[in-house]
Structure 1
Amino acid sequence: MTTSDWGDWLPREIAAADPDGVAVWYLGCNGFVLKGSEGTTLFVDPYLGTGDPPRTVRMIPVPFDPADVDDADAVLATHEHSDHVHGESQAPILERTGAPFVAPDASMAAAREEQAWADRWAIDDEQFREVEEGDVLEIGEFTVHVVEVNDPDAEHPVGYVFEHDAGSVFHPGDSRPAEWFTALGRSSTSISASSPSGPQG
């Protein structure tokens, strides 16, 4: 972990945003924040580390300190790799907001056993919510569908389709193309997401 060059700018911008439909912020690596028009805020694969060369090299600045996040309705992980399940990035958000950590079994094992989040941060057992393909979750204004993806490098990867009145967002983690994505795309409506940029100056 390193100090963010942006300070607490991004968490404040997300908290203040009032999107008409769904706003999406890119965090680097495969991390995103989604916020709906009713205020539901979801963090997907947020990774705020500097990387683990040569496997992972961070190419953009660390966008925020997780301790500066005051509002989160869930933190979701697509698979167990360290740039998707990372205690220093995600556990402080769970501790501060009480949000659930939503992830498949291998990701859950990485968080609970290998990284021992509950021993290092004040996180309740109820905050760990294990999911598998076919599960459907209601998180605030979003209906979240857990779907199959094609990531042969992961032990148990999943993707998420975030369904909203404004449309749908698909996050496949580190998936490669898959023939079933065509049917998945046809069953979901695309969303025109506003993507606020980084700090100006």
Structure 2
Amino acid sequence: MMSLSTVPFSGSLIERLAAPTAGGIRLYWLGQAGFVIATNRFRIVVDPYLSDSLAEKYRGKRFEHDRMMAAPVAPSALGPVDLVLVTHQHTDHMDPQTLMPIAAANPDCRFVVPRAALAAAQERIGVRPERLVAVDAGERIEPLAGLGVTAIRAAHETLERTPGGWHRFLGYVIAAEGARLYHSGDTIPYEGLVEEVSPFRVDLALLPVNGRRAELTEAGIAGNLTLDEACLLAERIGASDMIAHHYGMFAFNTEDPRVIDAKSAAADCRVRLHRAKLSVEYRLSK
């Protein structure tokens, strides 16, 4: 069984990423749903949003998308990146101003994307087709030697499919170095989710906690798990640790950090709950 420890650090994320990984897995939060997952052999990035593209797009609109936190690193400074996992095509998960610089700085990096969003990925990442790995829910791939990735359905806020039957929203179970991580992507609870994920016996769940509100849903802004729902999901799939994320980026669609911290100390929280923080290294090891 793997366990998660947290190590605050000073200095830049660039400096931290340059340090060698002494066994196990290191994780760093990039804000929103973005993470760097580093092992001795490779570096994976999930759903990075490291630009102001949405602030530019929605300036002057009802729900402005100004960043509440600065990007901890420039996209081109994340390297060497071996693989990027993208859960769906919403811009805070598939951002051209982030993904194109990553692709340019890492010419051998490949991008795992939902088959439902392949056309959008080709446009927004701008790489040769062989650098894109298209997947659908239920499929398992090994894009790097010793790294397994299984796509899981996600409901944001519904289990949407394309006319061809491909799922628009995905999560991923990542297996590496004897550990299993589950990044749910953007999702709410749905019937069958626990049964799909629990057989993987994940050690760590990376789950959104910004919840959902009717006024946002009516405006076309889909919601996610609430904090309570995320903790219950982590418990039911057997994860020993959970990192709460997808908060603190946009003021209209977030969760109060104090609420997350209080939940982690609550008696009804039966999983080790960690709030995603910048300048913290998360170490997953035996």
Query: In which range does the TM-score fall when normalised by the shorter chain?
Result: 0.7 to 0.9
Q: 2:153 aligns with which of 129, 148, 173?
A: 148
TM-score (norm 2): 0.57
Gaps of 5+ in 2: 1-10, 162-167, 205-240, 244-275, 281-286
Equivalent residue number for residue 229 of structure 2: none
Q: 1:198 aligns with which of 271, 276, 279?
A: 279
Equivalent residue number for residue 46 of structure 2: 44
How much identity, in percent, do the aligned residues show? 26
Structure 2 letter corresponding to 1:148: R
- The 5 A counterparts of 1:77-96 are 77-96=86-105
Q: For 1:92, what is the secondary structure of its paired residue?
A: helix
Q: 1:101 aligns with which of 87, 94, 111?
A: 111
Structure 2 letter corresponding to 1:124: R
Equivalent residue number for residue 23 of structure 1: 26
Distance 1:16 1:39, change over 3 A: farther
1:132-163 Cα distance to aligned partner (Å, 9 max, x none) = 11221212432111111112367601110001
Distance 1:160 1:197, change over 3 A: same
Structure 1 letter corresponding to 2:131: Q
Q: CA RMSD in A?
A: 2.7
Equivalent residue number for residue 80 of structure 2: 71
Moved more, 93-102 or 17-26: 17-26
Structure 1 letter corresponding to 2:175: E
Contact map agreement 1:29 1:58 (CA 8 A) in 2: no
Distance 1:9 1:141, change over 3 A: farther
Gaps of 5+ in 1: 1-7
Alpha-carbon distance between aligned partners in 1 of 2:33 and 2:192, rounded to the nearest angstrom: 21
Contact map agreement 2:170 2:185 (CA 8 A) in 1: yes
Matched, 1:128 2:138: no
Equivalent residue number for residue 258 of structure 2: none
Q: For 1:67, what is the secondary structure of its paired residue?
A: helix
Matched, 1:62 2:97: no
Moved more, 66-75 or 9-18: 9-18
